[in-house]
């Protein structure tokens, strides 16, 4: 962009003659906003975008056939993100310039959230969110022995500080905070944290959480010094069968919530009636289910438990019976893309382990079965095409999509399977085994050299229908020759 182009952009900005000046209601005319506007104009030139994106996609964007969101920032940084308040309370606020110890008082716990959002909003293009701010702040209310006036003052500080323009473009950090109250029993059983250490369970401090929630909705009604509504944080409220509709447990909070909703449209409402709130993160296969994974070009077959034990790193977050872990080395899983319904190698970013008391067993006509938690997604063929159901929603007569042929994913010219060379036939056989095979196992000691866990493995079994003679012949021939 030359000098004359910069001048043209400057004049358009000062005259407010460009629609993009008004595109974001959260920005204000300022030097910082002008710099952001100028940078956007420079970087959104087609010639620049084509250095990063497919040429056809860029042309379609400018022809208004498609829209590529958050340009040019999305070229380098992600969009929205949710953060663990529990992790911030455990570790404190660790930044490149200064390090704060874990919060010991409510004022510090709230300050850490505000400053954390100010920092992360500069590295993401979209919303920054935390869940259960009421439950995690509740223990501080009771440990500090704060009355409602003191709690409201701290929450009010947060509301004001999050609405000052601290982000590129002279805008406020786009933030979201979820109020959970009693919606999730598993979350109530999670560890309460004060001063970086556990002080019981979140459910032990529900009175403090109710006080924090009351301050949120009270302040949303009051607004700022002129009575204007606070833009941020956007409040999200989980409504579930445990919601105290009659106000028997929450007192005047219930009426306050609906007054704020009616007068200000204060909160997003999350429907906890159609979904088991405790299962939102519990989308897991049973530990013994087989998966195909690839590490450093080598393809392996193992159980979910084996995958977890081999690749899980540090514990990132724990909420009740649900645990998130980092991945200590790169690994990919062979997975069904729910949008394209094609098999793809997908990098594993995090590992989830949950101790669920509920399990769904899905059995198909050929005798195969698999086990998963009720919320686990399952691809089902319906009259309207393929759609995703929860495991608990799968009904007798549904057509469940199962892997039949993975040879294209398991082999190019050749593939490495745990040190063995895999040719086309081996890959095809392995794909059939994952789709329609299982181990034969027994509890007696006839095959003592093959014991795994409580069982002795004696061979492989495939479940084919009578009309699948081609597959039967292939498996028999392969087993005899190999």
Is the bond preceding 289 in cis, omega lying within 30 degrees of 0? no
Distance from chain centroid for Cα 420: 36
Q: Comparing 216-225, 421-430, 470-479, which segment has the lowest mean pLDDT?
A: 421-430
- What pLDDT does 456 receive? 52
In 3-state terms, what secondary structure has residue 158? Answer: helix
pLDDT at 337: 67
* Chain segment 354-379, per-residue pLDDT in tens: 776 678 888 877 666 778 877 777 77
Strands 399-400 and 377-382: antiparallel
Q: Per residue in 267-298, pLDDT tens?
A: 999 887 766 555 555 556 667 777 888 888 78
What is the C-alpha separation between 358 and 321, in angstroms, rounded? Answer: 12
Mean pLDDT of 153-171: 92
Output the DSSP codes for 369-424.
EEEE-TT-EEEEEETTEEEEEEGGG--TT-EE------HHHH-SS-EEETTEEE-H
The two three-digit tokens of residue 442, written as one number? 């027994």
Residue 39 banded pLDDT, cuts 50, 70, 90? confident
The whole-model pTM stands at: 0.63
Question: In terms of Cα–Cα distance, which of 72, 257, 40, 32 is closest to 164?
Answer: 32
Mean pLDDT of 322-342: 78
Residue 48 token pair = 């620049």
Specify the pLDDT at position 414: 43
| Residue 330 reports pLDDT greater than 70 | yes
| Tens digits of residue pLDDT in 8-35 | 888 888 888 777 777 777 778 888 888 8
Whether residue 62 contacts residue 46, with contact meaning beta carbons closer than 8 Å, is answered with yes
In this predicted model, what pLDDT tens digit does every residue of 177-193 receive, in sequence order? Answer: 999 999 888 788 889 99
Between CA 453 and CA 246 the distance in angstroms is 52
Q: How confident is the model at residue 173 (pLDDT cuts 50, 70, 90)?
A: very high
CA-wise closest residue to 168 among 231, 122, 116: 122
Query: What is 289-340 written as a DSSP string?
Result: -EEEEEETTEEEEEEHHHHHHHHEEEEEEEETTEEEEEESS--EEEEE-TTT
User: Which letter does DSSP use for residue 240 in this model?
Assistant: -
Which residues does residue 353 pair with via DSSP β-bridges, in sequence order?
A: 323
Q: What are 396-435's pLDDT values in tens digits? A: 878 887 665 555 565 544 444 445 555 667 777 777 776 6
* Average pLDDT along the chain: 82
Rounded Cα distance between 128 and 176, Å, is 6
Section 137-160 average pLDDT: 97
In whole angstroms, give the CA distance from residue 172 to residue 63.
31
pLDDT at 452 over 70: no
What distance in Å separates the CA atoms of residue 475 and residue 472, rounded to the nearest whole number?
5
Between 1 and 417, residue with greater pLDDT: 1
Residue 385: which region, alpha, beta or left (left: phi > 0; alpha: psi -120 to 50)?
A: left
pLDDT of residue 412: 45
Quickly state the pLDDT bin for 175 (edges 50, 70, 90): very high
Q: What pLDDT sits at residue 17?
A: 78
Instruction: Map out the domains of the chain with their CATH numbers.
Output: 1-43 (no CATH), 50-76 (no CATH), 81-276 (no CATH), 281-402 (2.170.16.10), 408-482 (no CATH)
Euclidean distance between CA atoms 309 and 74, whole angstroms: 35
């Amino acid at each position: 962009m030359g000098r004359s182009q910069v001048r043209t952009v400057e004049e358009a900005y000062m005259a407010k003659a460009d629609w993009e000046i008004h595109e974001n209601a959260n920005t204000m005319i300022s030097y910082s906003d002008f710099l952001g506007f100028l940078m956007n104009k420079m970087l959104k030139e087609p010639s620049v975008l084509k250095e990063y994106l497919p040429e056809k996609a860029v042309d379609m964007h400018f022809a208004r056939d498609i829209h590529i969101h958050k340009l040019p920032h999305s070229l380098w940084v992600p969009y929205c993100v949710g953060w663990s308040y529990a992790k911030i309370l455990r570790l404190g606020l660790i930044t490149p310039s200064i390090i704060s110890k874990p919060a010991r008082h409510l004022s510090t716990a709230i300050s850490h959230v505000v400053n954390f959002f100010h920092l992360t909003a500069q590295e993401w293009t979209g919303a920054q969110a935390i869940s259960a701010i009421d439950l995690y702040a509740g223990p501080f209310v009771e440990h500090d022995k704060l009355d409602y006036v003191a709690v409201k003052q701290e929450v009010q500080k947060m509301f004001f500080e999050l609405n000052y323009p601290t982000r590129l473009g002279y805008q406020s950090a786009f933030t979201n905070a979820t109020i959970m109250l009693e919606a999730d029993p598993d979350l109530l059983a999670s560890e309460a944290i004060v001063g970086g250490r556990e002080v019981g369970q979140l459910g032990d401090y529900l009175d403090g959480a109710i006080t924090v929630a009351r301050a949120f909705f009270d302040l949303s009604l009051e607004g700022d010094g002129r009575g204007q509504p606070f833009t941020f944080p956007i409040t999200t409220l989980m409504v579930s069968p445990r919601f105290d509709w009659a106000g028997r447990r929450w007192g005047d909070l219930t009426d306050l919530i609906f007054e704020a909703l009616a007068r200000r449209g204060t909160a997003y409402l999350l429907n906890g009636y159609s979904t088991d709130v405790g299962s939102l993160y519990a989308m897991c296969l049973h530990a013994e289910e087989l998966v195909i994974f690839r590490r450093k070009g080598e393809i392996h077959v193992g159980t979910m438990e084996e995958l977890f034990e081999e690749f899980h790193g540090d514990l990132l977050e724990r909420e009740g019976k649900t645990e998130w872990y980092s991945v200590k080395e790169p690994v990919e899983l062979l997975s069904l893309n729910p949008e394209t319904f094609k098999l793809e190698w997908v990098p594993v970013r995090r590992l989830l382990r949950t101790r669920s008391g509920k399990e769904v067993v899905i059995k198909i006509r050929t005798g195969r079965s698999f086990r998963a938690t009720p919320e686990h997604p399952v691809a089902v063929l319906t009259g309207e095409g393929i759609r995703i159901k929860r495991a608990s929603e799968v009904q007798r007569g549904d057509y469940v999509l199962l892997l039949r042929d993975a040879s294209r994913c398991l082999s190019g010219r050749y593939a490495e399977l745990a040190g063995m060379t895999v040719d086309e036939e081996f890959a095809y056989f392995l794909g059939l085994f994952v789709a329609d095979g299982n181990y034969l196992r027994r509890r007696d000691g006839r095959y003592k050299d093959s014991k795994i866990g409580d069982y002795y493995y004696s061979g492989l079994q495939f479940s084919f229908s009578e009309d699948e003679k081609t597959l039967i012949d292939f498996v028999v021939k392969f087993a005899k020759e190999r």
